[in-house]
Amino acid sequence: MHETAIAYEIIEIVIAVAKQNRAKRVNQVYIQAGQLRGIVPEQLQMSWEFVVKGSIADKSELYVETIPTEGLCQNCNKTFPVKNYEFKCPYCGSGQVDTVKGLELQVKSMELEFED
């Protein structure tokens, strides 16, 4: 289950940012994950609960926004949603397609708590 490895990578980023900003606690974390990453949001959230234990993000909530896959046709230069992993341009039929969305994996934002 690669979600646990991803959760560890995310928590490293989150804790580093929280410490840089002298936060007391992390309450919420929002990430964007491209559909092609193959992340199962529920499994990532279960892994999250495990990796945050004992950290400043303990009991924080993780929200996952899945970014749909989009392709860019090299032939007609049109962008289109990729459905069922079929990388074929619906406009001209070309198979010469670049992926322009769907591979993202980033921390979009987080809610930090500070000392009064």
Residue 26 has pLDDT above 80, yes or no: yes
Q: Residue 3 in 3-state DSSP?
A: helix
In this prediction, residue 40 carries a pLDDT of: 95
Residue 116 has pLDDT above 90, yes or no: no
Q: Is 115 exposed, middle or buried (0-12, 13-18, 19+ CB in 10 A)?
A: exposed
116, two tokens: 């009064």
Edge to edge, the sheet with strand 97-101 lists: 79-81, 70-73, 97-101
In this prediction, residue 1 carries a pLDDT of: 59
CA–CA separation, 40 vs 106, rounded Å? 15
Mean pLDDT of 84-99: 97
pLDDT tens digits, one per residue of 28-58:
999 999 999 999 999 999 999 999 999 999 9
Kindly report the number of other CB atoms within 10 A of residue 71's CB atom: 22
Question: Fold for domain 2-68+101-113?
Answer: hypothetical protein PF0899 fold (3.30.2320)
CB distance 34 to 103 below 8 Å:
yes
